[in-house]
A and B are shown apart, each in its own frame.
Chain A
Amino acid sequence: MIEMQDVWKTYPDGTHALRGITVKVDSNEFVYVVGPSGAGKSTFMKLIYREERPTKGQIFVDSFNLAKLKKRKIPYLRRNIGVVFQDFRLLPKLTVAENVAFAPKLTVAENVAFAMEVIEAPNKLIRKRTAEVLELVGLSDKRNSYPAQLSGGEQQRVAIARAIVNNPAVIVADEPTGNLDPETSWGIMKLLEEINYRGTTIIMATHNRDIVNTMRKRVIAIENGVIVRDQQRGDYGYED
């Protein structure tokens, strides 16, 4: 599913974020990526959905060879990858600078449907899939609410619904519970596990010790840009 061969990433400012990563993740795996802040976790995640290019090395995701992937083909890679962030990234996120009156306001259902609209899926399918995934994340009754009216956990569910609505092969989740309290976090983890059972590969970067130690999965630990540990049913291994 995902394969990296001696991947190096050096940023223009000279930071060596990754230094020779070789790893293979099979279909249907659930992988935690752990490590101290600034160790290269985020870079590792960004390489998968081609937000960043490796300086050196080969990356394969699904049937895509990322080193050879042309820029205008990136959208087609992304359609196979669902991305979830710590800050949810729903629409709208109104800042003071934005004009509140005219900013597009999307409901929960519209936020999810958005991901299908922009890849020009047929309207009928959009309605059907949106209803399905909202049911799956348990937000059918909130479909016409606005994200601002929801709790953090609910907003993250909307973000997850949006990430899976196009049936991606992989979910890349960068600290999805980072902004949530422990109880809510467990709900999100149950949801991700459920999605994993249904056949989606999940790569999740996290700092959450309890979750890693309780819901045992494969653990990849990155420090100073190299993989220092790769262990099935591993533990978190750091004192917070």
Chain B
Amino acid sequence: MKISTAGRHLREGFRSMVRNGWMTFASLSSIGISLFILGVFVLLTTNVNYIAEHVESQVEIRVYLSLEIDEEREINRVQNQIGMMPEVHKITFVHKDEGLKILEKTLGEDWVEGFQGDSNPLPHSFTVEVKNPEEISIVAKNIEALNDIMQPVPIDEVDYGEGTVEDLFAFSNLVNRVGFVLVIGLAITALFLIANTIRLTIMARRREIGIMKLVGATNGFIRWPFFIEGACIGLIGAAIPLGVLLYGYYRLIESSKSRMNFMSMIELKPLDEVALPLIGLLMGLGVAIGVFGTLLSVRKHLKV
């Protein structure tokens, strides 16, 4: 295609967008809203997965000993038993006084007052790190099984955040599914709105198209401006929610860094890792919806 022809198609496409005013606005909003919601869901699932992976790599096992276990010999015996397991990476002893200090830090001084020294109700505990996070439940079971072979029964409780990781992944799956259905529905709405906008353009230019055909314009030449109009609506419809989403995400990350609130407990995926795939996805989908909507209308109404 010649440059002057391409320029002409672009000009015609843009002119139609302006001329169709409200219909263009409706299509733009429709695409914008669908893609915004899609973007929110994508960011949500990406981060839930990101956090889940993060949590998974950090998991450790807490082993609380029975209150009767207080002698160093008994403690060492249990520690050796656990340390000998091939899946265990590291085992650390946490004295009950130390445990109380940790509690004091998270809950505040008031809570632990009167429990210091001999009146400390906490048991001694171990922190166990495993080599492979996937084996964590096996290790936990093996540790619990020590109760069957050792006397006196040494372990009160084994805790490893069972289910948290699984819950996170399940949540992200649910979000994915709900988002998918919602976005498909909205995308179809956007598709038909674009098809209708293009239909209006075809109607408005019926006469011009008729003359173009008479003087020997090819079908491709006649169709181009309509596809440009559709694609532009899709592109602009994607750019607006993209701007909002990326700026919003940027602010979210900034605020979680600067202020101490619940957000600061969670580490979000960095913006530069999120931005490019999101831009590609939304722009691509926007243009695809625009072009496909145009195709629907051109096929039906532009008999060339």
* Chain A interface (Cβ < 8 Å from any Cβ of B): 49, 72, 75-79, 83, 89, 91-93, 98-99, 102-104, 114-115, 117-120, 123, 162, 166
Q: Which residues of B contact A79 (CB under 8 A)?
A: 215-216
B208 touches A104 (CB 8 A): yes
Q: A76-B216, A89-B211, A118-B215 are in contact. List 5 more A-B contacts (CB 8 A).
A: A78-B216, A118-B212, A118-B217, A119-B215, A120-B5
Check: B219 CB closer than 8 A to any chain A CB: yes
Q: Which residues of A contact B219 (CB under 8 A)?
A: 72, 75
Given known A-B contacts A99-B19, A104-B15, A123-B4, A118 and B216 have beta carbons under 8 A apart: yes
Given known A-B contacts A102-B18, A120-B5, A114 and B211 have beta carbons under 8 A apart: yes
Chain A proximity of B131: nearest CB distance (Å): 67
B15 touches A78 (CB 8 A): no
Give the nearest-CB partner of A111 in chain B. Answer: B211
Give the nearest-CB partner of B12 in chain A. Answer: A104
Chain A proximity of B270: nearest CB distance (Å): 46
Given known A-B contacts A99-B19, A102-B19, A78 and B207 have beta carbons under 8 A apart: no
CA distance A117 to B7 in the complex (A): 12
Secondary structure class of chain B's binding surface, majority of residues: helix
Chain B proximity of A30: nearest CB distance (Å): 21
CA distance A72 to B304 in the complex (A): 9
Q: Which residues of A contact B80 (CB under 8 A)?
A: none
A120 touches B221 (CB 8 A): yes
A166 touches B19 (CB 8 A): no
* Chain B interface (Cβ < 8 Å from any Cβ of A): 1-2, 4-5, 8, 15, 18-19, 204, 207-208, 210-219, 221
Secondary structure class of chain A's binding surface, majority of residues: loop
Name the contact of A75 in the complex, choosing from B204, B211, B216 (C-beta under 8 A).
B216
B218 touches A72 (CB 8 A): yes
**What are 9 A-B contacts defined by CB distance under 8 Å?**
A72-B218, A75-B218, A79-B215, A91-B207, A91-B208, A103-B204, A115-B215, A118-B216, A166-B216
CA distance A75 to B304 in the complex (A): 10
CA distance A229 to B221 in the complex (A): 42
CA distance A93 to B218 in the complex (A): 23
CA distance A114 to B211 in the complex (A): 9
Give the nearest-CB partner of A98 in chain B. Answer: B204
Task: Tell which of B1, B15, B217, B221 has the most Cβ of chain A within 10 Å.
Answer: B217
Q: Which residues of B contact A49 (CB under 8 A)?
A: 214
A93 touches B5 (CB 8 A): no
Give the nearest-CB partner of B220 in chain A. Answer: A72
CA distance A91 to B15 in the complex (A): 16
Given known A-B contacts A98-B204, A102-B19, A117 and B216 have beta carbons under 8 A apart: no
B214 touches A91 (CB 8 A): no
CA distance A92 to B210 in the complex (A): 12
